[in-house]
Amino acid sequence: MTHIACHIKQLQLPFGACSQPLTFSLPTAGATLIGRNGIGKSLLLELLAGQRRPVAGKIEWHRPIGWLSQFVPEGECCVADFIGWGERLRALERIEQGSTDERDFELLAERWSLRSDLAALLAEAGLALDAYQPLDRLSGGQLGRLRLLALFVNPDHFLLLDEPDNHLDASGIDWLSQQLARHRGGYLLVSHDRRLLNQTSQILELSEQGLQSARLSFDEFLAQQAEVQAARRTSLAQAVRNEKAAARSVQKKCVNRRPDEPVKGGVSAAPKPRSCLISRRNRQANPLAKCWTAMSGATVRKWRPAPRRQPRWRRCSRSSCSGRRRSSARGLPSRW
C-alpha cells in the first residue's frame, strides 16, 4: 500500500519562472520532476528539504527525508563519518580493545558486523576506499557515489535527488538505477538521464501554470505530449482554412451582389446616388453613350459627336483660276 510522504499546500516559490501556488502530495514511491531550465526545479527541492523558506504555503512531512548534499562538509571528515557510521565504528573498535563503557555498547546497538557491512557497501558502489580515508583525497566520481551511498543507507527516508547522475560514468549510473529500484522510502528525482527518468511511474511537470501530475513513465508522457501538440496543430490548421474559406465566400458575394445590396456577415454598402443609377441605365441602353457623374449629385452629361469639320480652302495654283478652290481628294466642285 502506498502512503503519503508529504503534503504541500499553496506553496509559493520565492523566485523563478513559476509564480503560481503549488498544492500536491508526494507518495512513498518514485516520482520524477521535469520542467524547462530556469523554471525552479532545484528551488522546489530546496524548499522541500528545508534549505530555503517559502514565501507562503505549508509543507507537512510524514517521514524523515534525505537531501542530496551539494557540498562536502568542512573540516576533517572521513568516509565513515560522511556516511554516518563513524561514531559507531569507533565504538566497535574501543569495545574490541577491551572497553566496557556502556555508552559504546548503546552506540553500537549490537551492530557487530558494522565493519564488514561498510566494506560491502563500498564495494557494491564500486568504491575501493578505506573507512577512514579523508574526503579531500577522493575524485569527483568517487565523491558522487559516496554522497548517494550516504542516502541509501537509510531505507525509510524519502530522498530528494537533484541531478544525482552528475560526475557518474555508465557503471555509476547502473549502480544508481539499482539502488533507486530497491529503495522503499520513496524519492523525488530531477535528472537529464533518460534511463533514470523512465524508472518512475509518476511525472510532475513544473511550468508557469503550476504543477501538473501524470501517472505515466517519461517516454509515455512524451508520447502523450506529442499527440496533444499534433492535435493542436491540426486544430489550428483547420481554423486557418475555415477563416480563408469564409473570406473567399464574402469576397465572392461582394463581386456578385448589386451595388445597393448589403454584404451578409460584413459591412453594408451605402446606397448609390440617384445620378449614378441613372447613368448606369443610360449605359445599358446605349453602349456608345459615355457619361460621368459628380459625387455631389451633378447632372449627367452625355457625349455627343462633334460637328463635321469644315473643309479648308486654299487658293488654286492654276493660272486659269482666279478664285479659291477647296482642297479635296474627291475633286468636289469649286466654291466661289
pTM: 0.66
pLDDT for res 205: 92
d(C-alpha 254, C-alpha 269), whole Å: 10
- In this structure, the answer to whether residues 88 and 151 fall within a common structural domain is no
Give yes or no for residue 303 having a pLDDT over 60.
no
pLDDT for res 295: 47
- In this structure, the answer to whether residues 67 and 118 fall within a common structural domain is no
pLDDT for res 261: 57
List the domain range (segments joined by +) for residue 252: 220-269
Does a structural domain hold residue 140? no
* Higher per-residue pLDDT: 249 or 47: 47
Task: Please count the structural domains in the chain.
Answer: 4
- In this structure, the answer to whether residues 96 and 41 fall within a common structural domain is no
DSSP category for residue 266: S
* Higher per-residue pLDDT: 287 or 180: 180
With a pLDDT cut of 90, the percent of the chain lying above it is 29
pLDDT grade for 327, boundaries at 50, 70 and 90: very low
- In this structure, the answer to whether residues 57 and 150 fall within a common structural domain is yes
With a pLDDT cut of 70, the percent of the chain lying above it is 72
Burial of 24 (0-12, 13-18, 19+ CB in 10 A): middle
pLDDT grade for 272, boundaries at 50, 70 and 90: low
- In this structure, the answer to whether residues 61 and 150 fall within a common structural domain is yes
pLDDT for res 284: 56
What DSSP string describes 91-159? HHHHHHTT---HHHHHHHTT-TTHHHHHHHHHHHTT----TT-BGGGS-HHHHHHHHHHHHHT-TTSEE
DSSP category for residue 252: H
pLDDT for res 260: 57
pLDDT grade for 325, boundaries at 50, 70 and 90: very low
As a whole number, the mean pLDDT across the chain is 79
- In this structure, the answer to whether residues 277 and 230 fall within a common structural domain is no
pLDDT for res 254: 73
d(C-alpha 177, C-alpha 277), whole Å: 86
Does a structural domain hold residue 325? no
- In this structure, the answer to whether residues 115 and 157 fall within a common structural domain is no
pLDDT for res 3: 84
pLDDT for res 196: 92
Give yes or no for residue 330 having a pLDDT over 70.
no
- In this structure, the answer to whether residues 68 and 161 fall within a common structural domain is yes
Looking only at the bridges linking them, the beta strands covering 158-162 and 65-67 are parallel
pLDDT for res 160: 96
Does a structural domain hold residue 322? no
pLDDT for res 208: 86
* Higher per-residue pLDDT: 248 or 176: 176
pLDDT tens for each residue of 140-191: 888 889 999 999 999 999 999 999 988 888 888 999 999 999 999 999 999 9
Give yes or no for residue 15 having a pLDDT over 80.
no
pLDDT grade for 304, boundaries at 50, 70 and 90: low
